[in-house]
Amino acid sequence: MDLSHVTFEQLVHEMLKRLGEDPDRDGLRKTPERVARAMKWMTRGYKMDPMELLQKAVFAEKHESMVLVRDIELYSMCEHHMLPFFGKAHIAYIPNGRIVGLSKVARLVEIYARRLQVQERLTDQIADAMQCSLEPAGVGVVIEAVHLCMMMRGVEKQNSRTITSAVRGVFRDDQKTRDEFLRLVVGGTGLR
Using CB atoms within 10 Å of the CB of residue 130, give its burial: 0 to 12 exposed, 13 to 18 middle, 19+ buried.
Answer: buried
Q: Is 13 annotated in the active site? A: no
Give the rounded percent of residues in the chain with a pLDDT score beyond 70. 97
Q: Is residue 90 among the annotated active site residues?
A: no
188 pLDDT above the threshold of 80: no
pTM: 0.92
- What is the C-alpha separation between 76 and 110, in angstroms, rounded? 9
Q: What is the pLDDT of residue 189?
A: 53
- For the stretch 71-98, pLDDT in tens is 999 999 999 999 999 999 999 999 999 9
Domain that holds residue 15: 8-42
Catalytic residue among 9, 21, 33, 149: 149
Q: Is the pLDDT of residue 16 over 70?
A: yes
pLDDT confidence of residue 158: 82
Task: Say if residue 192's pLDDT is above 50.
Answer: no
> Does residue 34 share a domain with residue 63?
no
User: Given 9, 21, 33, 81, which residue is catalytic?
Assistant: 81
Position 16 in a domain:
yes
Q: Does any domain span residue 2?
A: no
Residue-wise pLDDT tens digits, 90-129: 999 999 999 999 999 999 999 999 999 999 999 999 999 9
Average pLDDT over residues 28-40: 97
Residue 1 lies in a domain: no
DSSP codes of every residue in 123-185: HHHHHHHHHHHH--SEEEEEEEEEEHHHHTSTT--TT--EEEEEEEEHHHH-HHHHHHHHHHH
- CA atoms of 111 and 53, how far apart (whole Å): 9
Q: Specify the DSSP element, H or E, that contains 62.
A: none
Burial class of residue 48 (count of CB atoms within 10 Å of its CB; 0-12, 13-18, 19+): middle
Same domain, 102 and 165: yes
Confidence (pLDDT) at 47: 96
Mean pLDDT of the chain: 94
180 and 159, same structural domain?
yes
User: 95: domain CATH number?
Assistant: 3.30.1130.10
Q: Which of 79, 120, 132, 135 is catalytic?
A: 79
Going by C-beta distance under 8 Å and a sequence separation of 6 or more, which residues neighbour residue 173?
Answer: 138
